[in-house]
Amino acid sequence: MKDLRHHYEAPLRTTPFHDRIAAANVLNQWGPWAGYTTALVLEDAEMEYSAIRNTASLYDLCPMIKYRIAGRDAVDYLNRLTLRDVARVAVGAVQYTAWCDDRGKLLDDGTLFRLGEAEFLLCCQERHLPWLLDSAIGFEVSVHDVTAEIAALSLQGPCTASVLDAAGFDVSALKPYRFASFPFDGGDLIISRTGFTGDLGYELWIEPALALPLWDRLMAAGAYCGIRPVGSHALDIARIEAGFLAAHADFVPADQALREDRVRSPYELALDWMIDFGKGHFNGRRALLAERDGQTSEWAFVALDIEGNVAADHAILYDGRNREVGQITSAAWSPSAKRSIALAQVRRPHHAGAKGGLRAEIYALRELHYVKLMMTARMTERPFFAPPRRRTTPPGRF
């Protein structure tokens, strides 16, 4: 769009991969994501999910928000902003991290790529520019939204290392949470061993002009194993199996919550393992210290194994005395773990595993009527599905 004033004629933009995805999207099912139109399902959600766990899948990540953070104080700044110690991230490495407001409540989680000594890329679901800029006061650092400047693609599944190899990119030495740069069509392709599926997989980062050639190269290289584009529905099942949190599904970002009682701390979202109190001051540190020392966390974030085979989306959780003690935030029937799984916010101390477990109130809509089920929900381990192949280096062929 040359004349920016006309933006309202197409409120949802298309991503650099849109032409290919539109051609593959025979069901024509689209949904908005951060101002872009993205595929929910292209052909068949179950088959798409199956590609993620069986062969290789391609998912368009372009709408993910990306901030380029650079400048002399970039490390100090990011240490101030986020929970983990950024100094420990080597150039070429990726850190899964999270950040809080001054009251120690979670704003978002995301991945931080260290591109150079003083250059980073922060990828996340929500927009944070005012917060990132306000936090930068006193640091020599620049923060830019580069979402539209980078086309991103997620290639996930047990065959993805082989597919990349066939496409001419040797990633055999790449360990999880590492990235490397490869020449592609006169440009620079960055490949990171990261993803949202808890499986073997990679994310690819390229300038938008080279997006379609990259897509075509990967589709051709993966043809042998039936590589296929997947939509958000398939990915979300893999995401829940991997036990990753999603903003607005599992937590409300603290700066967006209208209701003050909806905000949660990292302790309440099981992200407290990230907190590095030893690294110096960071946003929310004082509040988090007080929460830790005073044991004042009110909520816990848990993984549940639900009796029966009906997905327990948004079910209310009860204790043995029929008191409401929590809420399921994400749920699915797990095709890989063969059980009904859920992520939930539970009021402490009920997370500690009450005798006989909690009970989930599930409403299954069957032929216009609800079938109401009260199902036992037991605490279990996250991730729900964790194949060893996700970590093996060099990666296997399938």
Partner 1 sequence: MSYDAAIIGAGHNGLVAACYLARAGLKVVVVEKNDWIGGAAVSRELYPGFTYSNCSYVCSLFRPEIMRDLELPKHGLQVLPYEGGAVFTRDGGYLATFRDHEANRRELMRHSPRDAEAYDRYSRDVMRHCRFIRPLLLRTPPDPATFRPRDIAELAWLGRKVGEMSEGQICDMIRFWTMSISDFLDEYFESPVIKAYLAVSAIIGTALGPMSPGSAYVLLHHYMGDVDGNVGAWGFARGGMGAITQALTASLRAAGGEVRTGAGVEKVLVANGRATGLRLEGGEEIAARRVLSNMDVKRTFLKHVDTAELPPAFVKRVETFKSRGSSGKLNIALDAAPHFPALPDGAPMLKGDLHFTDSVERMERAYDDWKAGHFSRDPFQDTMIPTMIDPTMAPPGKHFMSCFIQYAPPKIEGRDWTDADRDAFGQTVIDQIAEYSPGFKDRILHMEVRTPRELEAEVGLTDGNIFQGELTFDQLLFNRPVPGYAQYKTPIRDLWLCGSSAHPGGGVMGAPGRNAASEILRDLRAKTEMRQAYAVV
- Contacts to partner 1 by CB under 8 A: 3-8, 11-12, 32, 35, 103, 127-130, 133, 145, 255-258, 260
Minimum separation from the CB atom of position 158 to partner 1 (A): 37
Report d(CA 138, CA 71) in Å as an integer.
12
The stretches of the chain forming alpha helices (DSSP H) are: 18-24, 45-54, 74-81, 129-135, 160-166, 211-222, 232-242, 285-294
Smaller CB separation from partner 1, 3 or 367: 3
Minimum CB distance to partner 1, residue 7 (Å) = 4
Residue 287 C-beta: closest distance to partner 1, Å: 11
- When the beta carbons of 110 and 158 are compared against partner 1, the nearer one is 110
**Minimum CB–partner distance for residue 171 and partner 1 (Å):** 35
Report how far Cα 44 is from the mean position of its chain's Cα atoms: 22
Distances (CA, A) of 76 to 89, 275, 311: 12, 16, 44
Cβ proximity to partner 1, 103 vs 347, nearer residue: 103
Q: For residue 207, with 0-12 CB atoms within 10 Å meaning exposed, 13-18 middle and 19 or more buried, which class applies?
A: middle
Name the residue nearer to partner 1 (CB basis): 128 or 239. 128
> Reduced to 3 states, what is the DSSP secondary structure of residue 78?
helix
Minimum CB distance to partner 1, residue 65 (Å): 10
Write down the least CB distance from residue 236 to partner 1, Å.
22
- SS3 (DSSP) at 140: coil
Cβ nearer to partner 1, comparing 257 with 386 = 257
Between 38 and 162, CB nearer to partner 1: 38
Minimum Å gap between C-beta 35 and partner 1 is: 5
Decide whether 32 or 138 has the Cβ nearer to partner 1: 32
From the number of C-beta atoms within 10 Å of its C-beta (0-12, 13-18, 19+), residue 106 rates as: buried
Residue type at 79 in one-letter notation: N
Distance of CA 222 to the CA centre of its chain: 24
Quickly count helices (H) and strands (E) in the chain: 8, 19
Contacts of 49 (CB under 8 A, 6+ apart): 230, 234, 237, 238, 335
**Relative orientation angle of helices 45-54 and 232-242, to the nearest 10 degrees:** 50
